[in-house]
Amino acid sequence: MHLLRRSMLSVAERPTVERLLRNDRIAGRVVWRFVAGEDLESAISAVRELALLGITATLDELGENVATREEAESAARDCVTSLRRLADAKLEPNISVKLTMLGLDLGDDIARENVVKVLDAAREVKGFVRIDMEGSAYVERTMAIFEDLHDRYPAEVGIVIQSYLRRARSDVERMIERQARVRLVKGAYAEPEEVAFQQRSQIDLNYIWLMERLLEAGNYPALATHDPELITAAKQFVAEHAIPHDRFEFQMLYGVRRDEQQALVDQGYRMRVYVPYGTAWYPYFSRRIAERPANAVFALRQIAFG
């Protein structure tokens, strides 16, 4: 599974593949299944449509690894705008951000300063900001910045923990201790064996352990998975331990397993969809295709047969 992901990512990194997706009309249809559009208004329309189905959303303007302070400050302004536009539209002001988009490569202080601007806006509109986790090279710095911010904005900021990382159990315990809100994911980056589990069975077992700890002792955990076995495991654990459905939520990606998203809502569970948008969609899209063979099969079928 790990080798397949690496192979697919290496193909996705070829400039010719990106050009095809950006310039081919049929290939573009595949992209817009997983990405809500290139501008904020398209994304807000997608959030509004989800709300009509009883599904909440977290909005994410795509982008990472900015090269200048001006780009980082511009990204922070965009985040503030998205929070305020959601509030103005009477939609929940909930967004996700990457620290490298807010200047982490330029320095921790620059990233922290930009996130503070976003969190101040979140506090004003009674919103919430989830700091996404990136590759393993950024994890410790991200955790340190998050903990500093969580001390100051405990109600406005949350974090992501990746179950394929070997350090995930200790990180979850740290987050439980401070009652920080955690989104639990498997992880979508190609990581070396010394840092991350390589077998799907190991990653899944770790996910279940982390999920159960968060359901038992965490603060409103978000269980982000499309895996039917993990969803079933969560349902069983919740039922066995009489955990109310308002103590946690499921999360899925925009365009993935739409029927299951609605089914969970119909069963009385809370569901939030991660809604990405923006012109810098290609790295996100390629990771989504690489991490799930079903996504790749869907994409190739659409391109081949329209």
**DSSP secondary structure letters along 22-82:** HH-HHHHHHHHHHS--SSHHHHHHHHHHHHHTT-EEEEEE------SHHHHHHHHHHHHHH
Task: With cut-offs at 50, 70 and 90, classify the pLDDT of residue 88.
Answer: very high
**221, two tokens:** 């955990």
For residue 140, is it within any domain?
Answer: yes
User: What pLDDT is stored for residue 14 in this prediction?
Assistant: 56
Q: What is the pLDDT of residues 106-155, one digit of tens each?
A: 999 999 999 999 999 999 999 999 999 999 999 999 999 999 999 999 99
Cα angle 203, 204, 209; round to 5: 100
CB 244 within 8 A of CB 265: no
For residue 305, is it within any domain?
Answer: no
- Is the pLDDT at 7 greater than 50? The verdict is no
- Is the pLDDT at 292 greater than 80? The verdict is no
User: What pLDDT is stored for residue 207 in this prediction?
Assistant: 98
The residue annotated as part of the active site, out of 112, 183, 270, 292, is: 183
132 is catalytic: yes
User: What pLDDT is stored for residue 16 in this prediction?
Assistant: 59
pTM of the model as a whole = 0.88
Amino acid type, 98: K
Q: Which 8-state DSSP code applies to residue 184?
A: E
Q: How many helices (H) and strands (E) does the chain have?
A: 13, 8
The residue annotated as part of the active site, out of 132, 171, 257, 292, is: 132
Task: With cut-offs at 50, 70 and 90, classify the pLDDT of residue 13.
Answer: low
For residue 289, is it within any domain?
Answer: no
Q: What is the pLDDT of residues 172-219, one digit of tens each?
A: 999 999 999 999 999 988 899 999 999 999 999 999 999 999 999 999
For residue 293, is it within any domain?
Answer: no
For residue 303, is it within any domain?
Answer: no
CB 295 within 8 A of CB 256: yes
Q: How many CB atoms lie within 10 A of CB 232?
A: 10
**Counted domains in the chain:** 1
Q: What is the pLDDT of residues 266-283, one digit of tens each?
A: 999 999 999 999 988 887
Task: With cut-offs at 50, 70 and 90, classify the pLDDT of residue 303.
Answer: very low
Q: Cα(93)–Cα(89) distance, rounded to whole angstroms?
A: 9
- Is the pLDDT at 15 greater than 80? The verdict is no
60 is catalytic: no
For residue 301, is it within any domain?
Answer: no
Indicate which CATH number applies to the domain containing 158: 3.20.20.220
- Give the domain range for residue 69: 36-280
